[in-house]
Structures are given as structure tokens and as C-alpha cells.
Amino acid sequence: LTNPLKQKLAAGIPVFGTAVTAPSPHLMRTLVACGFDWLMIDLEHGPIGPESTQAMINATLESSCTPLVRLAAGEKWMAKMALDSGALGLFFPLIMDAGEANCAIRSATYPPAGNRGFGPIHAGYRWQMSMTEYARDADDAILKIIMIEHLDAVDRLEEILSVSGIDLVFIAPYDLSQSLGLAGQFDHPRVKETLMLAERAVQAAGIPLGGFAGSLEAGQEMLARGYTLLMFGYDSMLIENALTPVLQKLRNQ
């Protein structure tokens, strides 16, 4: 089992993806065709359940797109379900301290280092190998992403980053700005300052940095600041942003 996404990140090559909140293998396949390096099946902010998760992971078959899952919460059973369905990486939302980061990493790691239960029959089918072959390589291949989404987590970043096994830190501007009482105000000086503080700490720890880009310009700026994983919008947001202005212009002509 290899994870091309993890290899690219280790080589410092930027990787691009988006979030899929619709429980739809059909939409997943459309986004695979766009050429994304990875897609995040979002169990946190949408109606996606276990059956859709598995079907959406299968929608990346015969493509170079890596299926990732964002868990609704840092629950052990959720990590197991997503990984046993064949996800090659997990986003852990709202990590607040080192204890939570440690629980998250352990839930995606087999014993003795972690506490993931053994049963990767379908993960083996998905990656066309036996479950023992899968289990031999899974801990190394699975990308573990910690999401920093609160001012208090930024304050505790040094202790969080000392937890071993974190492959990437995703700095989440929506929740982070909300924690400052400035929801969505990404250009506000306090939001910018907090984001920058977090970025510097992650970079100083030598851990790859991921974040959210709401536009092409934002993405370009983030690449220049050293981000290597960019999440470009959400499915619904991308569709709305593409269609609403066109409709408005046509109606007003």
C-alpha cells in the first residue's frame, strides 16, 4: 500500500483538493475528472453516512486521486469505519490539545503504537491486496491531518505539534475566525495575525502546512507563504460561485 499524496508532501510538492459534502459518488467522479490530487469526503458538515463514504471512496478507483475523509468528530469508531472503507487519510477536526491529537493519531494506527481495531477486509479489496498486506503498510501509508481551528489550540500549538505521527497540520480559517468572534473575516488584522502565528509554529516544527483557499488569488498567496496542501472551496460553494454570477448577469441583460 502506497500513498502518492504522502510521497508528494514529503517531497514538498503542493497538492490540491476540495471538500465533498454531498453524499454522491456521481459528484465525486466529476471532481476526480477535474484532476484533483485528493478529495475530502466531509462527514463533519454534511449528510454523508457510512454507505456513501464507502461508495465515494470507490469512485476514485482507477484514478490518481487519493480519497481522504474528514471525520465528524475525533471518535475512534469513525476513524475505523473510514479507514476500513479504504480512505488513505483522515482530517481530524477541532483538535484542542495534545491529548486530543494523540487520541486522533492512535485511532488511525494499529497496535502496538495505536488502538485501531483489525478488520480491513474491504480496505484490502479497495486497494487490491490481502488484508494482512494492507495492515503491514497502513500505518505508514495513511495520512493523518490535524485541524487547528480555535484560538486556544493556537495557544497550545507547541504541545500539540510535539505529538508524534502528525503528517500535516491544517489551519482552518472559518472556525478559527469564529473563535475570535470574527467569523469569515479572513482579512481582519486579528484573524491574519492568528493565522500567521499558527503557520509559523507549524513551519518551525518542520510539519507540512495545509489550508483553505476560497479563490485562485488566495491559493496563489498561500503557496507563496509555504502551504503545500490546498483545499479549494467546498462542492456547494464552488457550484454556487460558478453559477450565481452568470445567472445574475443574464437576467440583468
Stretch that binds Mg ion, among 67-75, 106-114, 120-128, 146-154 (CB under 5 A): 146-154
Does 71 interact with Mg ion (rule: CB under 5 A)?
no
| Pairing mode of beta strands 15-20, 209-213 | unpaired
Does 43 interact with Mg ion (rule: CB under 5 A)?
no
Peptide bond into 112 cis (omega under 30): yes
Does 92 interact with ligand 3PY (rule: CB under 6 A)?
no
- Per CB under 5 A, contacts with Mg ion among 170-209 are 172, 175
- Per CB under 6 A, contacts with ligand 3PY among 191-250 are 212
Stretch that binds ligand 3PY, among 25-33, 102-110, 113-121, 169-177 (CB under 6 A): 169-177
Size of residue set near Mg ion by CB under 5 A: 3
Does 172 interact with ligand 3PY (rule: CB under 6 A)?
yes
CB of 115 to ligand 3PY, least distance (A): 25
Coil, strand or helix at 125:
helix
Burial class of 66 by CB neighbour count within 10 A (0 to 12, 13 to 18, 19+): buried
Distances from the Cα of 214 to the Cα of 27, 131, 208, angstroms = 20, 39, 20
Does 173 interact with ligand 3PY (rule: CB under 6 A)?
yes
CB of 170 to ligand 3PY, least distance (A): 7
Angle between helices 50-58 and 25-33 (to 10 degrees): 30
Does 174 interact with ligand 3PY (rule: CB under 6 A)?
yes
Residue ranges of E strands in the chain: 15-20, 38-42, 66-70, 89-92, 143-148, 168-171, 209-213, 229-234
CB of 209 to ligand 3PY, least distance (A): 13
* Contact footprint for ligand 3PY (CB under 6 A): 149, 172-175, 212
